[in-house]
A and B are shown apart, each in its own frame.
Chain A
Amino acid sequence: AAGVIQSPRHLIKEKRETATLKCYPIPRHDTVYWYQQGPGQDPQFLISFYEKMQSDKGSIPDRFSAQQFSDYHSELNMSSLELGDSALYFCASSTDSSNTEAFFGQGTRLTVV
């Protein structure tokens, strides 16, 4: 069965650089969520989209932005990277914004050096 695809799986960036993470939801899923999981931490909600519109916003820094495209894939753009941005970034998708069952991708591990 198709799963949530995230790319790249690993990314190394220097401080003050930018990074773009991509997420391809399960086919026919119209809702995408982004989470950030620091080392040894629980995942923290960043932002979500439903039908290409932002539906909810969590603890996403102003340096980050995201969008969902017409094919429902989503991109998380991160600028002016800081060492503290090093984390595992998860994307999840579901069939609607009720989030009764969100399916997670394997994540992108971002390391800022």
Chain B
Amino acid sequence: GDSVTQMEGPVTLSEEAFLTINCTYTATGYPSLFWYVQYPGEGLQLLLKATKADDKGSNKGFEATYRKETTSFHLEKGSVQVSDSAVYFCALSLATALIFGKGTTLSVSS
């Protein structure tokens, strides 16, 4: 079935470090891909999305490129801040409900 696999956490970084969170997917069709962020005690917020191959989603310094050939949608940020500490979920949608990865906890220290 359709699924999302993302790197296990937690990821611990110092402020201004480079961030990569890997995400790969398995899907029977051509899904839309998303990154959601969940801050402690909060709901899920859409961080960025891409709806077709080679699309790049970006927001708040985060980027991810939809790579059909490697079925990947890795999240990157050039310089993380303490305020980026949260749980990040990669997700896909095939015109139905979202299928989420297990989530990656990011902790950024100053």
Identify the interface centre among A45, A58, A99: most chain B CB within 10 Å of its CB. Answer: A99
Bound-complex Cα distance A43 to B91 (A): 10
Contact with A along B26-46 (1 / 0, CB 8 A): 000000100010000011111
B95 touches A97 (CB 8 A): yes
B99 touches A45 (CB 8 A): yes
Known: A42-B89, A42-B103. A48 touches B43 (CB 8 A): no
Q: Choose from B42, B96, B100 the contact partner of A56 (Cβ within 8 Å).
A: B96
A70 contacts chain B at the CB level, 8 A cutoff: no
**Contacting residues of chain B (60-110) with chain A, CB-CB under 8 angstroms:** 89, 93, 95-103
A45 touches B97 (CB 8 A): yes
A105 contacts chain B at the CB level, 8 A cutoff: yes
Q: Which residue of B lies closest to A100 (CB)?
A: B32
A33 touches B97 (CB 8 A): yes
- How many A-B residue contacts, CB cutoff 8 Å? 57
Chain B residues, Cβ within 8 Å of A45: 97-99
Chain A residues, Cβ within 8 Å of B49: 100-101
Interface size on A, residues (CB 8 A): 24
Bound-complex Cα distance A103 to B46 (A): 7
B96 touches A42 (CB 8 A): no
B51 contacts chain A at the CB level, 8 A cutoff: yes
Contact with B along A73-113 (1 / 0, CB 8 A): 00000000000000000101000011111111111000000
A interface residue numbers (CB < 8 A to B) = 33, 35, 41-45, 48, 55-56, 58, 90, 92, 97-107
Q: What are the 6 tightest A-B residue pairs by CB atom distance, in nearest-first order?
A: A45-B97, A42-B100, A106-B43, A104-B44, A104-B43, A99-B93
B interface residue numbers (CB < 8 A to A) = 32, 36, 42-46, 49, 51, 89, 93, 95-103
Beyond the given pairs A90-B43, A102-B98, A107-B43, 13 more chain A to chain B contacts, judged by CB atoms under 8 angstroms and listed by A's residue number, are A35-B97, A42-B103, A45-B97, A48-B97, A56-B96, A58-B97, A92-B44, A92-B98, A99-B32, A99-B93, A100-B32, A104-B44, A104-B45
